[in-house]
Amino acid sequence: MGHSRRTFIRNSAFASASLFVPQFLRASSGFLSPDGKPKVLVVIQFAGGNDGLNCIVPFRDDLYHKARPNIGYQKAELIALSDDIGMNANLQGLADLFFRGDVVIVNGVGYPNPNRSHFRSMDIWQSASDENIYWQTGWLGRYLDASCNTGNCSKPHKAVEIDDSLSLALKGEKVSGFATRDPKLLKSTAQDPFIEAIAHENASFHDHEHNVEYLHKLLVDTAESTEYIYEKSTIYTSGALYPDTQFAQQLKTVAELIVAESNTMVYYVSLSGFDTHAAQRNQQEKQLKVYADAVKVFCDDLKANNKFNDTLIMTFSEFGRRVEENASKGTDHGTASNIYLIGGGLKRGGMINDMPDLANLDEGDLIHQVDFRSVYSTILDKWLYADPKAILGRDFPLLDFLT
Amino acid sequence: MVSQENKIQHLYLRAGFGETPANIKQKLNTPVEKLVDQLFESSKNYRNLNYMENPVKGKEVSNARILFMILRAPEQMRKMNVEWLNIMAGTNAVLREKMTFFWHDHFATSSQFAWLMQVQNNTLRKHAIGNFGKMLHAISKDQAMIVYLNNQQNKKDHPNENFAREVMELFTLGEGNVYTEKDIKEAARAFTGWTVNKKGQYAFVEKDHDFDEKDYLGRKGKFNAEDIINILLEEKQTARYVTTKIYKEFVHEVPDTDRVEMLTNTFYDSGYDIAALMRTIFTSDWFYDEKNVGSRIASPVELIIRYKKLIGLDFKDDKALTNLQKVLGQTLFFPPNVAGWPGGKNWVDSSTLTLRMEIPKRIIKDGGFDIRPKPEFEDAPEDETKLRTDKKAQVRSDWSKLVHFMRNEKEEAYTSVLLKYLIQSPTDLVDTALIEKYVDHSSPENRIISTAGIIMSLPEFQLI
């Protein structure tokens, strides 16, 4: 995907503006944001297909109760968001943020011709392709690519995934993100001193197209990012009381890097266990609680450190579930689900669109109201200051949740 | 200048999975034509993947039985994965296995049924160095493929275009070449009625087939699926597309237009004889050009097999081996989608390059891999805690072959000899003084093992 004129102008505007920015500030800037403050995006992925309809519940809708006699929620079991919509009680932490005006809920997010395979649908969400096209790069990887200017690209740590391996979402053509399960372990005794040594050597080969040079350059970049992220991870240790779950510890790691002002623009965290084919209530409730409890502490931690206004958290899943429950008190793979956007920089909190129309289904599945790439476009345009069309291949209507 | 060692190893890395230094040394004076003959000769006898028996045995299966088979599949698929890896690493029919591996990516398929993947794998192996046309016909009737590309849902009244689209886009013509959206619709009509029955066999359901006239790629007739495939084979673009892909995989990731056109003619004029095409490539002088030798980033499976061949890498537990594949980005039988593995530079990012380079250290010093792949989509949340306590996978290796090979070399020459036999790419960026600094000098044997280990952790070792 080539440079669009707009990205080019933005980059060159940044280039000239940066002449007036002190060195220490310049190093921590990504794309130029109008107020000069770096913005951070945290993506949380629910893996397995989260049932949005039992998260944000139309408890007055007879069709809902008819489709879900066993696993549906009654009003009394829910946190009321309005006269006819309730939030799953296990999302209490999210509800607290919602009532503060720090959450935007987008209903019915999906894409045309939805694919019901976990693998394929997750690839579609991560690459941001159409259903029948196979892209080998992710939307955030291409965002990193767009930062490349005359051969100089962002370093891998501009996008960090808290995991052992990197998701497609963070893979770009020219530069990919950086994966680490625990930045504090990056420079432990486990590191191979020989590899560290060659990472500091000359990486330039006479044939610049040769993979020898590519691998050496990647090694140098990796070492630089390792050094950088490790360094940042030692600056601030959060004293906030994060729950004792792996997911909460991952968010704690993210918070520590954000507070340490790492120049990372994107963080990526995943929570699995949403494939609720049987005994859904128990399993989904457990995961929703893991999610919301951790996110609440995470947001409070950021707020206490004045970082909440510059952080945007987006939560998605590869698909929702079928409207009708199955015989095992679970739900099977479906289509659209909801997205939660959390942060102090939202235009205003609340529900951005109508609930899914349960009277108008496509063979028992929700018909998506919003293309997920509209959400991405809005974030790319108004939060990450990049050109959505250059990254997503075409224009999608923007949503009104960021100024 | 490409050394004779690199030249011979180049042939074996591309036409197979590489050879040990001892085997390479033995072949240094044999003419390339003769080695290529041997490669074809030794691929005549081969072993099929034979992990499991047909669980259906010609009977119709109940839904409960289907569910049972699906639940057992992950473990079966893991065992099959290991079995195939061992065949690839141990067989004499290396060319056939390498081509089977190539077609496994070209005709990328996933299935919920391990048995169907075994059937497909053996179909690919049968035709791997035979006739592409025959393979295409066979794979179009392959049960796993039909299910994967939804041709079961392709019926006269409700055509499903998935199969027709991918056959053209990914298997024959290449995206956007020659065909139009209308051709996809017409081909889909011809494919109606091709399905898989409850015995797990290919079946043609007459009542679902559209027998009317089709207008396909400028030809008109009452075409059925076989006709469509024959028309695709008539199109020279099919030969060009497949040849280009083979060139990118076996010669250089950037195709040379003139050579690809020459090879396309060879392939097309031979009536899609895969052996003729591969023989032309392997016996051409340009195949051994400096530009091509050591230019490819090894795929994770190729890398693992190389370790198996060189130092007998083995894991106590099958899951550790499939986890390593998964974290490195390539698990046999689980291509990311119908387009196959992206390959090339896409194999490496910061974490996979680091892991690849740390493999020798993890084998020699740590005795295991503490790697955690992303959880499966279907995993219940409880499994998360299970993963946390996962112990290091115990790894085994056997350096004796390498030590034996080096027994007559002078200690000062260890680095240069091992570089010559283990590294295919240019060594301009290799700092031999630095290697010496980290070598364990405590005994000749330790010196050989540590020198080899360090060389295997060079970025250059990733290039084949």
A127 close to B (CB below 8 A): no
For residue A62, what are the contacts with CB-CB under 8 A and spacing of at least 6?
none
For residue B34, what are the contacts with CB-CB under 8 A and spacing of at least 6?
none
- Of A18-27, B46-55, B178-187, the range with the lowest mean pLDDT is A18-27
pLDDT bucket at B392, cuts 50 / 70 / 90: low
Residue B459 and residue A287: Cβ atoms within 8 Å?
Answer: no
pLDDT tens, position by position, A231-261: 999 999 999 999 999 999 999 999 999 999 9
Q: Are A158 and A264 in contact (CB under 8 A)?
A: yes
Residue with token string 């070792």: B461
Residue of chain B minimizing CA distance to A317: B377
Angle between helix B350-361 and A211-233 (nearest 10): 90
Nearest to A48 among B295, B353, B377 (CB): B377
Q: What tokens does A299 get?
A: 């947001």
pLDDT tens, position by position, B186-243: 999 999 999 999 888 999 999 999 999 999 999 999 999 999 999 999 999 999 999 9
Nearest to B295 among A123, A211, A246 (CB): A211
pLDDT bucket at B381, cuts 50 / 70 / 90: low
Residue B457 and residue A192: Cβ atoms within 8 Å?
Answer: yes
Q: So what's the pLDDT on residue B370?
A: 73
Q: So what's the pLDDT on residue A25?
A: 34
What's the mean pLDDT in B344-363? 93
| Residue A213 reports pLDDT greater than 60 | yes
A176 close to B (CB below 8 A): yes
Q: Are B315 and B393 in contact (CB under 8 A)?
A: yes
pLDDT bucket at B51, cuts 50 / 70 / 90: very high
Q: So what's the pLDDT on residue B6?
A: 98
Q: DSSP secondary-structure letter at A241?
A: -
User: Which residues of A are less than 8 Å from B371 in CB distance?
Assistant: 164
d(CA B18, CA A398): 53
Residue A218 and residue B350: Cβ atoms within 8 Å?
Answer: yes
Of B107, B132, B131, B102, nearest in space to B119 by CA:
B107
| Residue B269 reports pLDDT greater than 70 | yes
d(CA A74, CA A59): 6
Residue B377 and residue A275: Cβ atoms within 8 Å?
Answer: yes
What's the mean pLDDT in B290-297? 97
Q: So what's the pLDDT on residue A34?
A: 65
Of B286, B283, B290, B220, nearest in space to B259 by CA:
B286
CA distance A333 to chain B (A): 11
Nearest to B373 among A118, A122, A165 (CB): A165
pLDDT bucket at B391, cuts 50 / 70 / 90: low
Residue % of chain A over a pLDDT of 70: 90
d(CA B398, CA B386): 31
Q: Is A233 helix (H, G, I), strand (E, B) or coil?
A: helix
Q: So what's the pLDDT on residue A28?
A: 33
Residue % of chain B over a pLDDT of 70: 97
d(CA B373, CA A248): 19
For residue B306, what are the contacts with CB-CB under 8 A and spacing of at least 6?
B17, B18, B298, B464
Q: What tokens does A231 get?
A: 């360094």
pLDDT tens, position by position, B10-24: 999 999 999 999 999
Q: So what's the pLDDT on residue B380?
A: 67
Q: Is B9 helix (H, G, I), strand (E, B) or coil?
A: helix
- Of A35-44, A130-139, A366-375, the range with the lowest mean pLDDT is A35-44
pLDDT tens, position by position, B73-114: 999 999 999 999 999 999 999 999 999 999 999 999 999 999
Q: So what's the pLDDT on residue A183?
A: 92
Residue B349 and residue A216: Cβ atoms within 8 Å?
Answer: no
Residue B327 and residue A164: Cβ atoms within 8 Å?
Answer: yes
d(CA B398, CA B405): 13
Residue A211 and residue B297: Cβ atoms within 8 Å?
Answer: yes
What's the mean pLDDT in B358-373? 83
Q: Are A50 and A280 in contact (CB under 8 A)?
A: no
Q: So what's the pLDDT on residue A33?
A: 62
Q: So what's the pLDDT on residue A189?
A: 58
pLDDT tens, position by position, B133-147: 999 999 999 999 999
- Of A40-44, A222-226, A341-345, B277-281, the range with the lowest mean pLDDT is A222-226
What's the mean pLDDT in A285-300? 98
Q: What tokens does A258 get?
A: 């954000």
CA distance B154 to chain A (A): 16
Nearest to A192 among B339, B358, B429 (CB): B358
Which residues 336-375 on chain A approach chain B with CB closer than 8 angstroms?
none
Residue A194 and residue B354: Cβ atoms within 8 Å?
Answer: no
| Residue A192 reports pLDDT greater than 90 | no
Residue B354 and residue A222: Cβ atoms within 8 Å?
Answer: yes
d(CA B334, CA B311): 26
Q: So what's the pLDDT on residue A32?
A: 57
Beta strands in A162-214 (DSSP E): 178-179
pLDDT tens, position by position, A380-401: 999 999 999 999 999 999 999 9
What's the mean pLDDT in A256-273? 96
- Of A136-140, B67-71, B308-312, the range with the lowest mean pLDDT is B67-71
A118 close to B (CB below 8 A): yes
Which residues 93-112 on chain A approach chain B with CB closer than 8 angstroms?
none
pLDDT tens, position by position, B303-347: 999 999 999 999 988 999 999 999 999 999 999 989 999 999 999
Of A154, A131, A152, nearest in space to A141 by CA:
A154
Nearest to B463 among A193, A212, A283 (CB): A212
Q: What tokens does A110 get?
A: 């999906």
Which residues 36-55 on chain A approach chain B with CB closer than 8 angstroms?
47-49
User: Which residues of B are less than 8 Å from A209 in CB distance?
Assistant: 254
Quote the mean pLDDT of chain A: 90
Q: What tokens does B394 get?
A: 């115990």
Give the burial class of B105: count Cβ atoms within 10 A of its Cβ; 0-12 exposed, 13-18 middle, 19 or more buried. middle
Residue A195 and residue B357: Cβ atoms within 8 Å?
Answer: yes
What ipTM, to 2 d.p.?
Answer: 0.93
Q: So what's the pLDDT on residue A31?
A: 57
Q: So what's the pLDDT on residue B90?
A: 96
User: Which residues of A are less than 8 Å from B435 in CB distance?
Assistant: 194
Q: So what's the pLDDT on residue A22?
A: 34
Q: So what's the pLDDT on residue A397?
A: 98
Beta strands in B214-289 (DSSP E): 214-216, 219-221
d(CA B96, CA B85): 13
d(CA B3, CA A337): 59
Of A348, A272, A342, nearest in space to A314 by CA:
A342
| Residue B34 reports pLDDT greater than 80 | yes
Question: Helix/strand/coil (H, E, C) string of A138-164?
Answer: CHHHHHHHCCCECCECCCHHHEEECCC
Q: Is A106 helix (H, G, I), strand (E, B) or coil?
A: strand
Greater confidence (B68 vs A378) lies with: A378
| Residue A327 reports pLDDT greater than 60 | yes
Q: Are B273 and B267 in contact (CB under 8 A)?
A: yes
What's the mean pLDDT in B394-421? 95
Greater confidence (A30 vs B441) lies with: B441
pLDDT tens, position by position, B132-186: 999 999 999 999 999 999 898 999 988 899 999 999 999 999 988 999 999 999 9
| Residue B284 reports pLDDT greater than 70 | yes
For residue B371, what are the contacts with CB-CB under 8 A and spacing of at least 6?
A164, B323, B324, B327, B355, B393
pLDDT tens, position by position, B422-438: 999 999 999 999 999 99
User: Which residues of B are less than 8 Å from A273 in CB distance?
Assistant: 375, 379-381, 383-384
Q: So what's the pLDDT on residue A59?
A: 97
Quote the mean pLDDT of chain B: 93
Residue B431 and residue A198: Cβ atoms within 8 Å?
Answer: yes
Residue of chain A minimizing CA distance to B453: A194
Whether the model clears a pTM of 0.95, i.e. scores above it, the answer is no
How many interface pairs between A and B have CB atoms less than 8 angstroms apart?
159
Greater confidence (B9 vs B337) lies with: B9
d(CA B455, CA B439): 10
What's the mean pLDDT in B265-286? 98
